[in-house]
Amino acid sequence: MKNLSENIQYIGVDDTDIDLFEGQYVVPAGMAYNSFLIQDEKIAVTDTVDFRKVADWEANLEKALAGRKPDYLIIHHLEPDHAGGITRFVELYPEVTIVASAKAFAMLPQFMELPAETKKLAVKDGDTLSLGMHTLQFFTAPMVHWPEVIFSFEQSEKVLFSADAFGKFGVYDADPDDWACEARRYYFNIVGKYGAQVQAVLKKVAPLGVQTICPLHGPVLAENLEYYLGKYNTWSSYVPEDKGVLIAFTSIYGHTAKAAEVLAKELETAGVEKVVVSDLARSDMAEVLEDAFRYDRMVVMAPTYDAGVFPVMEEFLNHLKSKNYSNRKVGVVENGSWAPMAAKKMTEALSAMKKITLCETTVSIKSALNADSTAALKQLAKELV
């Protein structure tokens, strides 16, 4: 679906040649920067796009306008992947009024210089803006996932413009059946730290009777909204989504990798619902982090390295902490050839996270698995069934 209705048209752009989104995320299915045109007595444009695609967006905008002039530019989110076209828009339509939160207006001069005479309308929670038959109602959504974010709700067609919430990696026309996988990776890596703020805004929009959600990335959601709202409720409350064990390991010479295989087999044989094994050095860390949040149990396995923990594991644990990983059961397996320290370091990192239940058995492998460490691994598996 490109256009939402006769009056709400899609003017966004797909970015299929970007190497990394936000400087770190691989996006094999590209990325959409969504922008819409609402045509009524007054005309509003919602958001712009990344600098990389401003020319394409401008062409879409002018085609959809067919000679009319827009009255408002609504900035739901000032992050540069949505704000790259603001300067050009004001150049093209100097009469336009920019609508955003007061926080966005405070931050805007840091990113761009607009002519002093540019008209600005700062909106607060609950404010409305009539376009004719269409009326936009605004809701602040601070820290979902920047401080200046607003949502807007178009009352006549019951469309929620939800900024980066409900967004996903991938192009606009991505297969809606496959939404959760890339939406989850997007959510936990980009928005995940701000579960409480997502919960707060979900409560604000719950009574509105939303029929369509227009996020700034990925497809418009127009059917089965309980599914998407339910996923967001689960994710933002840090409740595990599925039962299963993620085994996140690293290995220099292969012995810890072998132990990960043995543990996975043990768990599968014992009937664990789902076992996912990820080599941190060879996986997309954003995806491993997504799985850590998805499942209710995790095992971290790493060699000792210069009296610490192997760097890629340290990085993974830092990511988990920064995204508020919590409320899960975790097992620890270390390896070391002369003075194993990795378990101590991993346990310290996990103990700094909230509501983490550590397994009683910590497995220490001295180089290669032997009878003792294999027995300990089996004991750990029993605790995770």
Ligand X SMILES: Cc1cc2nc3c(=O)[nH]c(=O)nc-3n(C[C@H](O)[C@H](O)[C@H](O)COP(=O)(O)O)c2cc1C
Q: At what angle do helices 311-322 and 285-294 cross, to 10 degrees?
A: 50
> Would you say 220 or 260 has its CB closer to ligand X?
260
HSE-CB at 357 with a 13 A cutoff on CA atoms is 7
Q: For the window 293-332, what string marks contact with ligand X as x by the rule CB under 6 A? A: ----------xxxxx-------------------------
Contact 303, 250 (CB under 8 A): yes
Q: Does 222 interact with ligand X (rule: CB under 6 A)?
A: no
Q: How far apart are CA 177 and CA 192, in angstroms?
A: 22
Q: Judged by CB under 6 A, which of 3, 367, 374, 379 binds ligand X?
A: 367
> Would you say 142 or 311 has its CB closer to ligand X?
311
Distances (CA, A) of 359 to 240, 323, 336: 17, 22, 20
Instruction: Provide, rounded to whole angstroms, the least separation between the CB of residue 215 and ligand X.
Output: 41
CA 170 vs. chain centroid, Å, equals: 12
> Would you say 6 or 306 has its CB closer to ligand X?
306
> Would you say 167 or 303 has its CB closer to ligand X?
303
Q: For the window 241-270, what string marks contact with ligand X as x by the rule CB under 6 A? A: ----------xxxxxx--------------
> Would you say 134 or 345 has its CB closer to ligand X?
345
Q: Residues with Cβ < 8 Å from 78, sequence gap 6 or more?
A: 100, 104, 107, 108, 111, 146, 148
Q: How many residues bind ligand X (CB under 6 A)?
A: 18
Instruction: Provide, rounded to whole angstroms, the least separation between the CB of residue 337 and ligand X.
Output: 4
Q: How far apart are CA 94 and CA 219, in angstroms?
A: 31
Q: Judged by CB under 6 A, which of 51, 181, 340, 353 binds ligand X?
A: 340
Instruction: Provide, rounded to whole angstroms, the least separation between the CB of residue 15 and ligand X.
Output: 39
| φ and ψ of 31, to 5 deg | -150, 140
Q: Does 335 interact with ligand X (rule: CB under 6 A)?
A: yes
100 - beta bridge partners?
Answer: 122
> Would you say 65 or 247 has its CB closer to ligand X?
247
| Residue 161, SS3 per DSSP | strand
| DSSP character at residue 221 | B
Fill in the amino acid letter for 56: D
CA 223 vs. chain centroid, Å, equals: 21
Instruction: Provide, rounded to whole angstroms, the least separation between the CB of residue 339 and ligand X.
Output: 5
> Would you say 244 or 303 has its CB closer to ligand X?
303
| DSSP character at residue 170 | B
> Would you say 293 or 305 has its CB closer to ligand X?
305
| Residue 259, SS3 per DSSP | helix
Q: For the window 25-54, what string marks contact with ligand X as x by the rule CB under 6 A? A: ------------------------------
Instruction: Provide, rounded to whole angstroms, the least separation between the CB of residue 51 and ligand X.
Output: 42
Instruction: Provide, rounded to whole angstroms, the least separation between the CB of residue 373 and ligand X.
Output: 11
Q: Does 373 interact with ligand X (rule: CB under 6 A)?
A: no
> Would you say 108 or 349 has its CB closer to ligand X?
349
Q: How far apart are CA 334 and CA 343, in angstroms?
A: 5
| φ and ψ of 140, to 5 deg | -75, 145
Q: Does 338 interact with ligand X (rule: CB under 6 A)?
A: yes
CA 308 vs. chain centroid, Å, equals: 30
> Would you say 160 or 299 has its CB closer to ligand X?
299
Beta strands 295-305 and 308-309 are antiparallel
Instruction: Provide, rounded to whole angstroms, the least separation between the CB of residue 307 and ligand X.
Output: 4
Q: Does 347 interact with ligand X (rule: CB under 6 A)?
A: no
Q: Which residues bind ligand X (CB under 6 A)?
A: 251-256, 303-307, 335-340, 367
